[in-house]
């Protein structure tokens, strides 16, 4: 201070004296990476839409495969849309109650530090990391071969053909439910943990039972979080093929699935069939692109619907906050 007080300060002290090459480089690298991702996404989507839109017609969406699977002029994707939507809806019906009840037990009922809960937490974390093909094999072994064939022995001992012990909508949905269980459990747990403990105490101090507190105070507050779990589960399950490969999806089944025990055609699996099994790849290509486009749009639509439902519930809750 003493040395500089003799002469007036000049702004030159703050002027740039050198070019910071590293900063410039790093700004550039991070920017390029970001735009690269966007570019890749646009190329993929653009490619699909460009090649697929001409065949993405109302007729394509509403006809089946009665007159062959590979002719772009006659084949459609109605059975695959119905199959994919049914397996996702059924999966949601299976996974949400089980996942929510598990999370409720872990956060509301069990002692937090007990050995059992730590084991369950570890199991849930590990379940999330299991490759989906392993779930497919598990579903085939447990649901189809074990549960299904035992049900046949008990319910249909006289039947010549297996009713339950074969690939079926219900087994595929259950396998997907097992696969997405950790997602729902973790999302619900987070939602439950974020509810102030004071609300539970207030309810209990008024002479409410634990069950009344959980049903009337805790669960309504956790609904948006539970739906987030549902959305994540749907997103994950919609595009999966491996878990349903052995448990329900078939390459050709022209009827729409009508019963839980019916096999079904699936959009994702159909993409694989079209691209590998077609006798004339060139001729099938537009059909393939239109099918991929359908799968993307369907996943997108299911997500939008779930997000809208969640927004509605959030709004309703927020009007009381």
Partner 1 sequence: MAAPLTTKIAENLINSSVPTQTREIINVCELSLYYGAARALAEISLKIRENVVTAFIGPSGCGKSTLLRCLNRMNDLIDNVRIDGRCEIGGHDIYGPEVDVIELRKRVGMVFQKSNPFPKSIYENIAYALRLHGMKKKSDLDAMVEKSLRQAALWEEVKDRLHSSGLGLSGGQQQRLCIARAVAIQPEILLMDEPASALDPLATARIEELVLDLKKDYTIVIVTHNMQQAARVSDYTAFFYLGRLVEFNTTRKVFTNPSQKQTEDYVTGRFG
Nearer to partner 1, 216 or 258 (CB): 216
Contacting partner 1 (CB under 8 A), which of 126, 209, 277, 283? 209
* Min separation Cβ 226 and partner 1, Å: 16
* Min separation Cβ 236 and partner 1, Å: 31
DSSP letter for 246, please: T
- CA 140 centroid distance within chain: 21
Contacting partner 1 (CB under 8 A), which of 21, 33, 160, 205? 205
* Min separation Cβ 253 and partner 1, Å: 49
Nearer to partner 1, 206 or 259 (CB): 206
Decide if residue 199 touches partner 1 (CB under 8 A): yes
Contacting partner 1 (CB under 8 A), which of 92, 107, 203, 284? 203
* Min separation Cβ 214 and partner 1, Å: 13
Give CA separation, 12 vs 7, 8, 9, 18, 70, in Å: 13, 11, 8, 13, 74
- What is the rounded CA–CA span in Å between residue 167 and residue 110? 38
Q: What are the tokens at 266?
A: 């699936």
Nearest to 130 by CA among 242, 248, 272, 271: 242
Name residue 249's beta-bridge partners. Answer: 264
Nearer to partner 1, 154 or 205 (CB): 205
Among 119-127, 139-147, 194-202, 279-287, the segment contacting partner 1 (CB under 8 A): 194-202
Contacts of 299 (CB under 8 A, 6+ apart): 235, 238, 239
Nearer to partner 1, 108 or 152 (CB): 108
Nearest to 297 by CA among 270, 276, 267: 267
Decide if residue 107 touches partner 1 (CB under 8 A): no
Decide if residue 113 touches partner 1 (CB under 8 A): yes
Burial class (CB in 10 A: 0-12, 13-18, 19+), 76: buried
Tracing tokens 């359908």 back to the chain, one arrives at 294
What string marks each residue from 259 to 298 as x (binds partner 1 by CB under 8 A) or -? ----------------------------------------
Nearest to 248 by CA among 178, 168, 162: 168
Contacts of 175 (CB under 8 A, 6+ apart): 135, 136, 138, 139, 143, 243, 244, 247, 248
Among 150-158, 161-169, 196-204, 279-287, the segment contacting partner 1 (CB under 8 A): 196-204
CB–CB of 181/95 below 8 Å?
Answer: yes
* Min separation Cβ 114 and partner 1, Å: 9
Decide if residue 212 touches partner 1 (CB under 8 A): yes
What string marks each residue from 213 to 242 as x (binds partner 1 by CB under 8 A) or -? ---xx---x---------------------
Decide if residue 211 touches partner 1 (CB under 8 A): no
Residue ranges binding partner 1 (CB under 8 A): 111-113, 196, 198-199, 201-209, 212, 216-217, 221, 317, 319-321
């Amino acid at each position: 201070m003493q040395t500089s007080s003799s002469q007036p300060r000049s702004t030159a002290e703050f002027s740039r004296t050198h070019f910071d090459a590293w900063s410039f480089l790093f700004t550039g690298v991070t920017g390029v990476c970001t735009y690269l991702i966007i570019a890749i996404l646009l190329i993929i989507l653009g490619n699909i839409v460009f090649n697929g839109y001409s065949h993405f017609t109302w007729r394509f969406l509403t006809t089946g495969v009665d007159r062959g699977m590979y002719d772009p002029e006659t084949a459609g994707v109605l059975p695959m849309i119905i199959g994919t939507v049914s397996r996702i809806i059924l999966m949601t019906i299976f996974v949400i109650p089980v996942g929510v009840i598990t999370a409720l037990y872990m956060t509301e009922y069990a002692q937090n530090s007990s050995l059992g809960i730590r084991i369950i937490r570890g199991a849930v974390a590990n379940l999330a990391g299991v490759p989906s093909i392993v779930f497919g094999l598990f579903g085939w072994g447990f649901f189809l071969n074990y549960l299904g064939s035992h049900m046949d022995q008990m319910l249909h001992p006289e039947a010549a053909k297996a009713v339950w012990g074969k690939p079926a909508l219900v087994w595929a949905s259950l396998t997907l439910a097992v696969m997405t269980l950790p997602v729902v459990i973790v999302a619900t747990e987070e939602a439950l943990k974020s509810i102030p403990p004071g609300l539970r105490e207030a309810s209990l101090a008024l002479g409410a039972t634990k069950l009344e507190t959980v049903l009337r105070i805790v669960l309504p507050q956790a609904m948006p979080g539970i739906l987030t779990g549902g959305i994540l589960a749907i997103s994950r399950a919609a595009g999966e093929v491996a878990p349903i490969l052995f448990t329900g999806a078939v390459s050709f089944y022209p009827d729409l699935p009508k019963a839980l025990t019916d096999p079904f055609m699936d959009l994702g699996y159909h993409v694989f069939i079209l691209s590998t099994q077609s006798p004339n790849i060139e001729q099938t290509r537009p059909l393939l692109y239109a099918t991929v486009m359908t799968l993307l749009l369907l996943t997108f639509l299911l997500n939008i619907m779930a997000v809208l439902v969640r927004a509605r519930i959030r709004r309703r809750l927020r009007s009381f906050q």
